[in-house]
Amino acid sequence: MGDIGEALDRSEVDVVVIGAGFAGLYALYMLREAGLSVRAFERGEGVGGTWYWNRYPGARVDIQSVEYMFTKFPDLEQEWDWTELMPAQAEIERYLNWVADKLGLRDGITFDTAVQRATYDDAAATWRVETDAGEQVVARFVVAATGCLSAPIEPAIPGLGSFAGDSLYTNRFPHEGYDFTGKRVAVIGTGSSGVQSVPVIAAQAAELFVLQRSAAYTLPSPNRPLGPNELDELKSQYADIRSAQWASPVGTARFGAVSFLGRRSLTNILEASWDEQIGKVDELGFAGCFAWADVFFDVAANDAAKRLYAEAIKRVVNDPGTAEDLVPHYPFGCKRVIIDEGYFETFNRDNVQLVNLRRNPIESVVPSGIQLADRLLELDVIVYATGFDAMTGSLSRIDIRGRDGVTLRDVWAESPTAYLGLGVAGFPNLFTVTGPGSPSVLTNMVTSIEHHVEWITACIGHLQANGHRSIEPDRAAQDEWAEHVNTFAGPLQVHPSCNSWYLGANVPGKTRHYMPYAGGLTRYMARCAEVVESGYTGFELA
Ligand code: N01
C-alpha cells in the first residue's frame, strides 16, 4: 500500500471515500493519518453532506451544539465558537468548512463529482470506482460515507413537473435562499423538514397551505443563543462532556430530542388519573405527554399519551378542527420526534391553513397549483418536504457490483441489512459508515460516525499489518446480526400504522424492515470491540 506523500498517481489509491459530510471528512482525515492514500468524491460543490444540501428555512439540528461536533480534537474544539444551543444549518456548514481547512482536507476531495459505479475485481481484490466526470480510480477499499438521509425521494404525484411556479425541495434547497414574501405557498410533508420550515415560511408568505398526510409528533425546541460566558464554561468542561457522551447509549449526554427519550419518569400513564396526566402537561408542556415509564413500551400507554398530546395541541391551536387534524394516528416513537420552533402556533395565523390530505387528497399538480379533491389551490411556490430513501438509498443509487457481478441494489432490495451496519456479504473491502444495522440515526450521528470511522481505520490497519488482501462479512453472521437487530425493534416501531423511513415504509416498493439498531450505542460499541478482539468474528479475512 502506498503512502500519501508518494501517491503521485491519483488513479490508484488505497481508499476511495464517497462523500464529504461529517463521515467523509473524518474518514479522509483518519485514513490519511494512518498513512493511506485516499481520494474522496463529493457530489456537492462544498463539504457538509446533509448540512450542504438541507439548507431550507428553519433547518436546525436537534442535538446540543457542543456535542454535535467532532470529539477527538481537543485543541481544535477550543477554537470553535458556537453561538446557539442547537445550531442552525448555516452554522454547522461553516463549522465543517472550518474543520476541512484546519485539517487540510480539501486537496483530498474531488467536488462536484458523483460516484456512479464501483465494481469489485475478485482477482486483484480491488474496486474500480467510476465517477460522473468519467474518471476511474482503482482502490483496495471503498468507504461509503454517503449518509443515512441523502437520497431524496420525489413523491409520485401526477403532474409534478407541470407546475408553472417555483418547485423547491427542502433536501436540495437553493443555495442563494428563497424569498417567500408575498407569495402563495404550499408545503407538502410534515416530517422534520416540513415542521421546521413551516413557521419561517409562514412569517414571510402571503398565504401558506400546509399539506399534511401524517400529522407530526413535535416538541418545542429549547434552542436559544448561548449566553456571554456560557460557551467558555462549557469549553472548560469539554473533557467531561466527551466522557459522558461516549458513555451514553445515544451518544449525547445533554438534552436534545434523543436524550429526552432516554429520561423516563417512573410513573405509568396507565396508572395515572386524568388529572395527574393533565398536571404533567401543566408542568412540562408537550414533553409532559411522554414523560411516563410505560409510553415507550406499551401500545395502550402510547394511546393514552396520544390523547394527552391532543389536549396539549388544543391548548395552543385555536381552531378545534385544525387542532384535531394535527393529532397523529400512529404511535409516538414510531418516527423520529421533531423539535420545532413555533409549529403549532403557526396555525393560529390568518395566512396559514392546514389541509388534511387523508380527507382531501392531492389529485394532481397543475400549472397553476395543486388540485385537491375538493378545490384548486392557486400557488406561486410548492415546497416539497417529502423525505428520503433512508439508510440504503444513497448506495442503492450507485451501481455497486461485488463478487460475481451481484449488485448491492438487488441485495438490499431483498434485505436491507449489513453486518454490524459496517459491511455486506458479497462486497469485500466495502465499508458502510452508519449503514443499516447500526445505531446511527437513533443516536447523535457525529458520535456514531466517529466510532465507525475509527473502527474501519483500525480494521484496515489490521489487514495491512497481517498481510490480508480482503475482508468481508460472513453471510450467516450477517443474517444473525439482522435477527439480533430485529429483536430491538419494539411494537411501536413496527406497529401496522407506522410508515416510518426507519422501516423503509415511506418508499413505495421498499422491503419493510426496521433498519437501525435500537440496542444503544454503548452496547453496540462493546459488540464491535468484541468482534475485533476475537479476531474479527463474523468476517472472512483473506
Ligand atoms: O422527511 P420525512 P423529512 N404526498 O420522511 C410526506 C432528519 N431530519 O425530510 O408520513 C403527501 O420525515 C410524509 O407523509 P407520510 C430526521 O431524522 C432532522 O422531514 O408518508 N405527503 C411526511 O409527512 C427526519 O426524520 C432534522 O404520510 C407526502 C413527509 O412528507 C429525517 O431527516 C430536520 C408524500 C416526509 O417526512 C427525514 O425528515 C430535518 C406525498 N406524496 C430532517 N410523500 C432535525 O431537526 C411524502 N409525504 C435534526
Q: Could you tell me if the CB of 86 is within 6 A of ligand 1?
A: no
Asked whether the predicted pLDDT for residue 505 surpasses 90, the reply is yes
Predicted TM-score (pTM) of the model is 0.95
Q: Could you tell me if the CB of 339 is within 6 A of ligand 1?
A: yes
> CA dist 417 to 250, 410, 420, Å?
21, 12, 9
- Judge whether 58 and 199 are in contact, CB under 8 Å: yes
Under 8 Å CB-to-CB from 8, ≥6 apart: which residues? none
**What pLDDT is recorded for position 228?**
86
Return the ligand 1 atom nearest residue 155 CA.
Answer: 41
Q: Could you tell me if the CB of 385 is within 6 A of ligand 1?
A: yes
Asked whether the predicted pLDDT for residue 390 surpasses 50, the reply is yes
- Ligand 1 centroid–CA 499 distance in Å is 11
- Ligand 1 centroid–CA 315 distance in Å is 25
Q: Could you tell me if the CB of 519 is within 6 A of ligand 1?
A: no
Asked whether the predicted pLDDT for residue 265 surpasses 80, the reply is no
Return the ligand 1 atom nearest residue 54 CA.
Answer: 39
- Ligand 1 centroid–CA 420 distance in Å is 26
Average pLDDT over residues 15-40: 98
> Comparing C-alpha atoms, which of 486, 473, 511, 521 is closest to residue 247?
521
Asked whether the predicted pLDDT for residue 260 surpasses 90, the reply is no
Return the ligand 1 atom nearest residue 61 CA.
Answer: 48
- Ligand 1 centroid–CA 413 distance in Å is 21
Return the ligand 1 atom nearest residue 171 CA.
Answer: 9
Asked whether the predicted pLDDT for residue 5 surpasses 50, the reply is no
| Least confident stretch, 200-209, 339-348, 438-447, 504-513 | 504-513
- Ligand 1 centroid–CA 441 distance in Å is 14
Under 8 Å CB-to-CB from 484, ≥6 apart: which residues? 519
Q: Pairing relation of β-strands 184-188 and 381-384? A: parallel
Asked whether the predicted pLDDT for residue 68 surpasses 80, the reply is yes
